[in-house]
Structure 1
């Protein structure tokens, strides 16, 4: 893996970590909580946002207005079966999700979950670094690059790794602050 490819992989790891953080509840209503919810629509798993308009009328409510009223029950069922831990309320036209305030224990669980997502991102970044360094070492072994060039490229790979891990750490700090703020 060349250095530009490694950097691209590292950027993708940061973006994936950010998306994972967006799925963690913070005690406030957020449309991104429903990003991973898939609805079985005519036998095909379909993202919820493709079947309905999703809004947050206030800080503790998510409103889901399906484009097709016949999908209300399957949307409600999909939310119930998902891992977001919220109970949907169906009034015949709109599905509402009330976001309860988080207990301190629940907040700590979410902080741990965010830490786990951050560590997965860091591992992806380190794997990209390892692949880039292995590629350079093979080139050096085959006399395609000099020892000095190889060392420079490896140093650059480490600098990129440090940069992207710092980005993930910053995202984690922001998310932890968001979760623990009452």
Structure 2
């Protein structure tokens, strides 16, 4: 029973960290990444489709993303979707493909991005603490129901805390890595 609680908690904590990593992939750094465009939906013949399902995305240079639609009629809807996406990117259309050039980030903008990264990391830590609290509550309930002894509960709580500490350290590590990437000129 204790192992079930701890393994369930561990899975949830891993998911929280993975969610943070995915969120960080969407953050615009000075470097081009196709993951910036993951959330863009394009009106494709009346249905909204993800951009990567109507075009090929490529990164020919460090600050450039090219979008080659499979159907040339899709250029205008793709441009419109990018402009409406609030990414702050201006698409350049040459008739066959769309080029997105990422402007270099200013120092002030980099600092703002880092602040947002820290807020996201703190949210992830709060989620980890909530998961820890739920696990400890489950352990207390097991002890109250006499399913486990008080000593087992205390040992399990220590194990839960150790897992929480290691996951918080992982969040800090992910934050530090992304922060370095953003502040890199």
**Structure 2-normalised TM-score?**
0.92
Runs of 4 or more consecutive aligned structure 1 residues displaced over 6 Å after TM superposition: none
Tell me the secondary structure at the aligned position of residue 96 of structure 1: strand
Q: 3-state DSSP class of the match of 1:139? A: helix
Number of the residue aligned with 1:60: 63
Q: Which residue of 1 aligns with 2:173?
A: 170
TM-score by length of 1: 0.94
Match of 1:159 in 2: 162
Q: Which fold has the larger relative contact order, with Cα–Cα distance below 8 Å and residues 6 or more apart in sequence? A: 1
| Structure-2 residue corresponding to 1:118 | 121
> 1:3 & 1:166 partners in 2: Cα distance?
18
Question: Which among 166, 180, 183 is matched to residue 180 of structure 1?
Answer: 183
Match of 1:12 in 2: 15
Q: Does 1:21 align with 2:24?
A: yes
Match of 2:133 in 1: 130
Aligned to 1:102: 105
Q: Which moved more, 1:44-53 or 1:108-117?
A: 44-53
| Distance change >3 Å, CA 141–CA 84, structure 1 → 2 | same
Give the Cα separation in 2 of the matches to 1:72 and 1:93.
8
Q: Deviations over 1:120-170 (max 9, x none)?
A: 211221111111111111111111111111111111111111111111101
Separation in 1, partners of 2:164, 2:46: 42
The aligned length equals 182
Range with bigger deviation, 172-181 or 33-42: 33-42
| Cα deviation 1:66-101 (Å, max 9, x = unaligned) | 122222212111111113221111222111110101
**How far apart in 1 are the matches of 2:122 and 2:47?**
33
CA pair 42-128 structure 1, distance change in 2 beyond 3 A: farther
TM-superposed deviation, 1:109: 0.9
RMSD over equivalenced CA pairs, Å: 1.4
Residue 112 (structure 1) shift: 0.9
